[in-house]
Structure 1
């Protein structure tokens, strides 16, 4: 396929064209074919390898060196769409094509529909018209004469259309053989009874008399078939002729053509929306604005009035944006709270419980990025559109890619928030994450905890073996902390030998359990010194949680508990190391207690 443009907003949507069940060319303003889907190539008998970067629509279709004389695009116009019909000669036969031209923001869609049904219909209508002219000659003879004209009666009886003669009171005088086959009640005495009715048809022209009536038409549905009734009054006597023509085939053809046209127009609308969405994703730097635009495009196509969209942030268990249409604030709040739940991100497939969904018939769509991680979820009410599944498939990929890329961009920006030695987050990033968790706690009641961790004996290692060994010890602790923690947690190095772990969705019991397991884990960890000596690694830890403390006090309380743990460690080692930092922490603890007493 030719994909001549370098505009990524267009390239990313061109592949969607192959999913559309219609022949489509996507061209630029210079008539170069950016994409020709498989169906269009098969439709016109064009080989795959013939299409290249300089191929034009007029070159591929008509083998012309220049634009077509009757091309609607050759004339400047503000119209977004146009149509034309043409016959394409391929392999000795003519292909009747109707071309629909739709202008997008950056590209033009050419949609091709096999027009053979319309051509056949027109030919059949012309044939019917000629046939009716011949029949009218016979009927005029009958009308101008009397019913005793046996020659004409015999011809009429063998006509392929149902024919009935009646008097001015709607009494049946004669019905031909075709009428006896098509009409529900051939024993009827009145014309409307012949149609299976007990009363005259609504707005029946015959109720006002047949005198002077010529070629008056009405329609009926009889036994699932569509009939046109043509009414003519006799000239020399009362009464008249009712001719019933079966137009079922023509009506069905017209309906097929109408349905095809609606499908083509819908496909064009979908493609234009996808291109516009991709363009918006490339140019709009406001994430929420882009997601709002997605909803504006998606909802009408999906034929629903309600939607909710949750976009994940770089940290698992946090979100960039939550949007909703046709959903109450309370239900959107409950949905977001459920999304924060830990098991949502560890279960495959990801699933929000039914009792939390905003609508009984909600459709859940998981948005999973290229690394198989959840980047968001989409919830839509019902499935009104027949092609709803196709709409979801076409829009899900660009939306997921966009959200995945936004996370990657934010990760790149956060490289400034990492510690160069360990690769862990630094204090600045930790503070941002804690601010986010504080908002979640205040808004959704989701508890969080912090664990302050300090390496025991780092000064001893630095003094005896050198700072390179000390760095190796710090790196070993960082690696094990990262591996021990969950994906939703934040592990940060906040000082030379100090680390803080932010435990999301965790109360005081969970934090205490984490601290205990952490200490036991390090009891079994050693690292090599100069490949000749192994040293054990031990840490002291303290934890605090919003389930028992105020958010702004957590780090101070956990820090104090960590130093109490460190004091106990050194006491067991037979050493007393009362540092200035311990004195400061004790003063802070007393200050916190005093503040709470005053409250």
Structure 2
């Protein structure tokens, strides 16, 4: 034994032992410098380092890093010897090699035992991949089996949920299988022969399958049982046939209904023809009142009504362009118009009349709307109508609403001639016309209005000191103040260089004073 230990003290002996080792061995000093490496280590790392001529560290050798690895276990005093670390290095062919490094201290050095586990890892990976493939195949197979079972179950459920009776029979007409619909459709669901299902003890006369189901394949036969009509469809199948019984009683009844519907279709065709005539009349008519009158002559018979009122908005909110009535007195029309001009209706806080405003116990309001969806007027009728008539009503009222909307747009274009070029406000001529309209509205509907006069102080000084451009800017600022504090139904007019008039619709003296107070605060 002493001779053995003496031999181990010989450097050549130690080197020889290093070389015969079947694993890579590398010795490093405390500075991680490689002082010794055997041939197997050189094979793993792609070349044996010349430890005497080149100072190479283990981290440079393995990873090409100038500094030790952050997770190097060698200096970690908390981990006992031997210490291990798994690394990945590049082999001679450039491929990744997985190496398990075992570390032990030796005479002030650290011996790194390199064990190439690449093959083992690849085998484990291949085994794992094979397991996953097998698992995936099993899952796919299981899913396929479930799909087949599901489809089979679905097909059986589908057959049972068919609305028609389905029966399979053998060559002697004995029933082999029948679906759930047989019990609800056929007269004798407990029959053992197909003809017994129809209440007959003997095969049907002129049965197409009398000479075999192959000869009867695809043929149909009609049956009448207790006033009910059935159609039998025959399909040949192995060892017999597949019979489908369809209850056609409803279809026969529908034929009768179709005959009755023809009259209704004729009526609708007449209505559509009338709509075409209405469209042509709207294109050539110059007066909207004539359009409304023509419309009423066609529309009221459609909904079986003889009375109606039509109220059309003007381009200025809170004002009426015109009204029309048929079968009503002027006082009733006046009451409806007064209710329509209420603030709640005009501001859209309510969409329809309150029942108290209708001159009848029951009534219905139909809105007339333009392409933008904005209400341009209403039709008031003494009675409601069916859903079918409601659809027909849309066919009439939608083109009428579009026509009124287009005529209002034309009035707006004509009205632009009555505006002040600088401010865009209305001029004196337009104001006078509007004041006359409001005067008539107050007389007819008792709807008050207020007029506020205003002038711009210091406009002349601004013009003299800063020029007319500054004066115009001053006027525009005042104009914007007015616009921001009036309602869409009110009218602001510029009647002179620095003079303005504001018409407050549906307003009294107190409302005007409140308006002036708001302007004074914001001025």
- Residue of structure 1 equivalent to 2:274: 273
- Residue of structure 1 equivalent to 2:388: 387
- Residue of structure 2 equivalent to 1:450: 451
Q: Which has the larger radius of gyration?
A: 2
Whole-angstrom distance in 2 between the partners of 1:423 and 1:249: 69
- Residue of structure 2 equivalent to 1:283: 284
- Structure 2 gap segments, 5+ residues each: 1-225, 228-248
Whole-angstrom distance in 1 between the partners of 2:258 and 2:374: 45
**TM-fit CA distance, 1:486:** 0.5
Whole-angstrom distance in 1 between the partners of 2:467 and 2:443: 46
Whole-angstrom distance in 2 between the partners of 1:491 and 1:359: 40
Q: What pairs with 1:448-597 in structure 2 (closer than 5 Å)?
A: 448-522=449-523
Point out the more displaced range, 500-509 or 257-266.
Answer: 257-266
Kept in 2, the 8 Å contact 1:307–1:381? The answer is: yes
Change (3 A) 1:384 1:341: closer
**TM-fit CA distance, 1:318:** 0.9
Name the SS for the 1:395 alignment partner.
helix
Name the SS for the 1:303 alignment partner.
coil
Whole-angstrom distance in 1 between the partners of 2:467 and 2:270: 69
CA offsets per residue over residues 431-464 of structure 1, 9 Å max, x none? 1111111111111111111110111111111111
Whole-angstrom distance in 2 between the partners of 1:305 and 1:429: 39
- Residue of structure 2 equivalent to 1:340: 341
- Structure 1 gap segments, 5+ residues each: 1-180, 183-247, 523-599
Name the SS for the 2:461 alignment partner.
helix
Whole-angstrom distance in 1 between the partners of 2:397 and 2:443: 32
**TM-fit CA distance, 1:251:** 10
Kept in 1, the 8 Å contact 2:344–2:350? The answer is: no
Kept in 1, the 8 Å contact 2:366–2:378? The answer is: yes
Kept in 2, the 8 Å contact 1:310–1:322? The answer is: yes
- Residue of structure 1 equivalent to 2:296: 295
Whole-angstrom distance in 1 between the partners of 2:462 and 2:374: 40
Change (3 A) 1:424 1:315: same
Whole-angstrom distance in 1 between the partners of 2:250 and 2:477: 81
Name the SS for the 2:447 alignment partner.
coil
Change (3 A) 1:372 1:465: farther
**TM-fit CA distance, 1:386:** 5.4
- Residue of structure 2 equivalent to 1:426: 427
- Residue of structure 2 equivalent to 1:45: none
Kept in 2, the 8 Å contact 1:303–1:383? The answer is: no
TM-score for the superposition, normalised by structure 1: 0.44
**TM-fit CA distance, 1:359:** 2.1
**TM-fit CA distance, 1:374:** 2.4
**TM-fit CA distance, 1:315:** 0.4
Structure 1 segments of 4+ aligned residues over 4 angstroms from their partners: 248-255
Q: What pairs with 1:77-476 in structure 2 (closer than 5 Å)?
A: 255-348=256-349, 350-385=351-386, 387-476=388-477
Whole-angstrom distance in 2 between the partners of 1:276 and 1:481: 47
- Residue of structure 1 equivalent to 2:76: none
Name the SS for the 2:479 alignment partner.
helix
Kept in 2, the 8 Å contact 1:375–1:403? The answer is: yes
CA offsets per residue over residues 244-276 of structure 1, 9 Å max, x none? xxxx99995675134211221122122112111
CA offsets per residue over residues 495-539 of structure 1, 9 Å max, x none? 0011111111111111111111111121xxxxxxxxxxxxxxxxx
Whole-angstrom distance in 1 between the partners of 2:387 and 2:369: 25
**TM-fit CA distance, 1:404:** 0.8
Whole-angstrom distance in 1 between the partners of 2:382 and 2:308: 6
Q: How many residues end up aligned between the 2 structures?
A: 277
Kept in 1, the 8 Å contact 2:453–2:499? The answer is: yes
Kept in 2, the 8 Å contact 1:448–1:507? The answer is: yes
- Residue of structure 2 equivalent to 1:214: none
Whole-angstrom distance in 1 between the partners of 2:276 and 2:361: 32
- Residue of structure 2 equivalent to 1:122: none
Kept in 1, the 8 Å contact 2:336–2:358? The answer is: yes
- Residue of structure 2 equivalent to 1:544: none
TM-score for the superposition, normalised by structure 2: 0.51
More contact order relative to length (CA 8 Å, sep ≥ 6): 1
CA offsets per residue over residues 93-127 of structure 1, 9 Å max, x none? xxxxxxxxxxxxxxxxxxxxxxxxxxxxxxxxxxx
Whole-angstrom distance in 2 between the partners of 1:438 and 1:425: 18
Whole-angstrom distance in 1 between the partners of 2:327 and 2:259: 32
Change (3 A) 1:320 1:459: same
Whole-angstrom distance in 2 between the partners of 1:391 and 1:325: 20
Kept in 2, the 8 Å contact 1:350–1:366? The answer is: no
CA offsets per residue over residues 318-355 of structure 1, 9 Å max, x none? 11111112223222111100111122121255222211
CA offsets per residue over residues 377-429 of structure 1, 9 Å max, x none? 11122134551210222122111111111110001111110100001111101
Name the SS for the 2:379 alignment partner.
strand
Whole-angstrom distance in 2 between the partners of 1:455 and 1:278: 51
Kept in 1, the 8 Å contact 2:369–2:398? The answer is: no
Name the SS for the 1:387 alignment partner.
helix
